[in-house]
Amino acid sequence: MSGRKVVVALGGNAILSKDASAAAQQQALRDTAKYLVQFVKQGDKLIVSHGNGPQVGNLLLQQAAGSTEKNPAMPLDTAVSMTQGSIGYWMQNAMGEVLAESNLDVDVATVVTQVEVDANDKAFTNPTKPIGPFYSKEEADQKRQENPDQTFVEDAGRGYRRVVPSPIPTGVKEYRVVNALVDAGIVPISVGGGGVPVVKEGNRLVGREAVIDKDFASEKLAELVDADLLIILTAVDNIYVNFNKPDQKKLENVTVSELETYIKEDQFAKGSMLPKVQAAIDFVKNSNGGKAVVTSLENVGEFLENGSGTIITR
């Protein structure tokens, strides 16, 4: 059982619930760390990834409120790297504390990760991912005039929001660094917030105003480091079909082809469960015999003891 290489992708709810203060997010991560350390206790080689949606949104708000000519707001790729650093600091600090309490002498390190995307990805001409604050129509029109390259759309009747591209990751620049840390017995935190989106231009990697889905980035990392297991944590213990209907069914052991059939039936919500299911399928298809698991943070103990959760195999 032990010695597996495991990539665990944390949902945003593992870090931020309602209180956006640093103290509250640090406390949430201490609670999260208690679940994650169970993998280390049983001898697994753990790699952690995480989302940053609420944090990068809040940072953009703070920047917009304080931006001046002499102290301008940073571009989105830089904001993603800033939240990778801050969340990584909180997470390595929290895990260090819980590891020490468990008498485990294991180091945790954050890798600020650049994730490669294709400059010709059609997402760049069709931005869909809402980020940052809500604006009135007048405010959105003014923002458009100030930033002609930015796109604003109405979001669910709640106002106008900026939308940015969400390209598919093609590579993870630092995957060898992550592997080196794992080989040295260190727990790496990587592809935070989906990683900083970069495109290759000759010898340069150039940041792009985009955000990458953290489940797809985690899948790409898991593939490149040859992980045995990709665990995508979400708000529910299992994936369901006919969700919230009288005949809802919990999926426990499921194959790629069964999931592909359910996708054709529109069983999974586009903005929430569908990308997780697609990332799980991609990993199982592209890995060397690896499995994917979708479950909740609270169910990690049950998964480790009894294999509880939705387990996806070829």
What are the catalytic residues? Answer: 12-13, 129, 214, 276
Strand pairing report for 196-201 and 204-207: antiparallel
- Distance (Å, rounded) from C-alpha 53 to C-alpha 127? 16
**Edge-to-edge strand list for the sheet holding 187-189:** 108-110, 187-189, 45-50, 5-10, 229-234, 291-296, 310-313, 253-255
- Distance (Å, rounded) from C-alpha 235 to C-alpha 296? 5
3-state secondary structure 159-185: CEEEEECCCCEEEECCHHHHHHHHHCC
- Distance (Å, rounded) from C-alpha 13 to C-alpha 52? 10
Instruction: Show Cβ contacts of residue 266 under 8 Å, excluding neighbours closer than 6 positions.
Output: none
- Distance (Å, rounded) from C-alpha 285 to C-alpha 27? 37
Max alpha carbon distance in the chain (Å)? Answer: 60
Closest of 314, 299, 170 to residue 232, by C-alpha: 299
Judge whether 294 and 232 are in contact, CB under 8 Å. Answer: yes
Instruction: Give the CA distances from residue 312 to residues 66, 231, 232, 281, in Å, rounded to whole numbers and listed in that order.
Output: 46, 10, 11, 7
Two tokens at 97? 């504390």
- Distance (Å, rounded) from C-alpha 9 to C-alpha 217? 9
Instruction: Show Cβ contacts of residue 180 under 8 Å, excluding neighbours closer than 6 positions.
Output: none
